[in-house]
Amino acid sequence: MTTDTSSPPPSSTTSAPTCVVREEIFGSVGVITTFTDIDDAIAQANDTDYGLAASVWTTDLTTAHRMAAAIEAGTVWINTWAEMSTGNLPFGGHKQSGPGREGGLEGLDTYTQVKTVRIAL
Domain ranges of the chain: 18-111
Residue ranges of the chain with pLDDT lower than 70? 1-17, 27-28, 84-87, 99
Q: Phi and psi (nearest 5°) for 41?
A: -65, -45
pLDDT at 93: 74
pLDDT at 98: 74
Note the pTM of the prediction, 2 decimals. 0.65
pLDDT at 110: 73
**DSSP string spanning 43-72?**
HHHHSSSEESEEEE--S-HHHHHHHHHHS-
Residue 10: which of 26, 29, 27, 23 has the closest Cα? 29
What CATH number does domain 18-111 carry, 3.40.309.10, 3.30.70.20, 3.30.413.10, 3.60.20.10? Answer: 3.40.309.10
Rounded-to-integer distance, Cα 54 and Cα 21, Å: 11
